Copies of this chain bind each other. A is one copy, B any other.
Amino acid sequence: FAPPSAAGIAALLGAVRFNADGLVACIAQQHDTGEVLMMAWMNRAAVEETLATGQVCYFSRSRQGLWRKGETSGQVQRLVELRLDCDGDTLLALVDQLGVACHTGRRNCFYQSIRGDSLASIAAPLMDPAALYGDAHKGHNHG
């Protein structure tokens, strides 16, 4: 990943339609396998930091601050490319996910689906969430 020019970053930001809270949705997809890992939100500063550093940074709505993905857990997302959709309200981040994307220790967050009469977990954790965050961060998620 080579950081885009300042003009390139400005061109992208000029086309993003941030919502009333100043946020834009961002889907993270593993660049080579196509696996959809998670969806979270970015504000303008998060988009800028992501493009400048090549490490994906979101905005945590629950903590109301920048959320450098993997800062606590080590499960960083290296940016490959950041794309914007037709109407400017959703980003698609092609990433290289180190380890697991989900705070439950699963590779991706989309592990709940209907099986019979119930909602089932269709993927098992690959890592222990306690090992990812430690006791101090119980309940941490990607709010």
Complex CA distance for A9 and B9, rounded to whole angstroms: 43
Complex CA distance for A82 and B4, rounded to whole angstroms: 36
A84 contacts chain B at the CB level, 8 A cutoff: yes
Chain B residues whose CB sits within 8 angstroms of the CB of A90 once the complex forms: 38-39, 109-110
For chain A, the count of residues having a C-beta within 8 Å of the partner chain is 47
Within 8 A of B (CB), among A22-44: 25, 27, 29, 33-36, 38-39
CB of A90 to closest CB in B, whole Å: 4
Q: Are the CB atoms of A113 and B82 closer together than 8 Å?
A: yes
Q: Are the CB atoms of A113 and B81 closer together than 8 Å?
A: yes
CB of A40 to closest CB in B, whole Å: 9
Q: Are the CB atoms of B27 and A114 closer together than 8 Å?
A: no
**Main secondary structure on chain A at its contact with chain B?**
mixed
Given contacts A85-B110, A87-B141, 15 further A-B contacts (CB under 8 A): A7-B118, A8-B114, A11-B118, A29-B36, A39-B39, A82-B113, A83-B112, A83-B113, A83-B122, A84-B113, A85-B109, A86-B106, A86-B112, A86-B141, A87-B142
- Across the A-B interface, the 9 shortest Cβ-Cβ residue pairs: A34-B34, A7-B117, A85-B109, A8-B114, A84-B112, A92-B110, A83-B110, A11-B119, A39-B90
